[in-house]
Structure 1
């Protein structure tokens, strides 16, 4: 599981390495999801390990596609193959040969998040990984984490 988590965090860090001007973000908690046989519902002895990164920098409507192009190019350089792309939303899903899946997506309130996940041979319950809680988020009016971007950038937010 530790190797899988390292892989996830390296892909997240590398995804935004070439983005200029730099973007700011908050990391969500690392999460494990137990894989189960779809017929018997028995645990398979494998887990999916994932984490989301939520951009704090506001990305204007006109720059969202540009950001996705930069991310797509970076992922392709790192051996990922684009599997799904939606220019209307916009979103992009790519997969590496080791099964690592990376996705960048624009949420309903304009928030942009990157999600990376990979499988691991491990057993245990599904849920957040202890010690990998990520960053703290402000609270939304309903008490849930508020993922709304809260920082403006002279380039990305125009």
Structure 2
């Protein structure tokens, strides 16, 4: 798959991964990136990469709603044929594989930031430039860290 096809697949996968959530959550997409796949004791390249994209939830989700969000997401994923591969109840997270063999996950950060992540591939290894082209600068906090903290209130999710 080309990098352009990978971006379209990532966006479609993230849309699908969040489709069961009602009311819908506001979000912003992070930049796609690729990771070269390696194997063996010498870490030799397998000749391809995996493309990944984060989708940052910008709606404030109250900690008391994490279970509801995970439950709704899990049921939606299973209805689409996703196989849940791991769940971490202590620092809420859920990982799944799609029928096509792609990966998705839902991660809840310590600061209440929630991220959906999708990974697809294979994509070609491109070492001399960003395979996804030039990107607009991502929003940052005053201290320079990425701005992934939720800021939008929702009558259901935030309380």
Q: Same fold (TM over 0.5)?
A: yes
- Alignment correspondent of 1:105: 107
- Alignment correspondent of 1:124: 126
- Alignment correspondent of 1:142: 143
Normalising to structure 2: TM-score of the pair?
Answer: 0.87
Judged with a 3 Å threshold, the aligned counterparts in structure 2 of structure 1 residues 66 and 98 are, in CA distance, closer, same or farther, namely same
- Alignment correspondent of 1:6: 8
- How far 1:37 moved relative to its partner? 2.5
Alignment RMSD, CA only?
2.1
Please give the per-residue CA displacement for 1:51-94, whole angstroms capped at 9, x wherever unaligned: 00000000001111111111111111222101111222211000
- Alignment correspondent of 1:57: 59
Judged with a 3 Å threshold, the aligned counterparts in structure 2 of structure 1 residues 129 and 142 are, in CA distance, closer, same or farther, namely farther
* Larger deviation, residues 121-130 vs 79-88: 121-130
Judged with a 3 Å threshold, the aligned counterparts in structure 2 of structure 1 residues 134 and 14 are, in CA distance, closer, same or farther, namely farther
User: Does the Cα contact within 8 Å between 1:28 and 1:134 map onto a contact in 2?
Assistant: no
Normalising to structure 1: TM-score of the pair?
Answer: 0.88
- Alignment correspondent of 1:156: 157
Work out the CA distance in 1 between the residues paired with 2:75 and 2:128. 33
In structure 2, runs of 5+ residues without a counterpart are none
Alignment length, in residue pairs?
A: 157
> Following TM superposition, where does structure 1 have runs of at least 4 consecutive aligned residues deviating by more than 6 angstroms?
none
Work out the CA distance in 2 between the residues paired with 1:134 and 1:77. 36
User: Does the Cα contact within 8 Å between 1:49 and 1:120 map onto a contact in 2?
Assistant: yes
- How far 1:134 moved relative to its partner? 7.3
In structure 1, runs of 5+ residues without a counterpart are none
User: Does the Cα contact within 8 Å between 2:60 and 2:154 map onto a contact in 1?
Assistant: yes
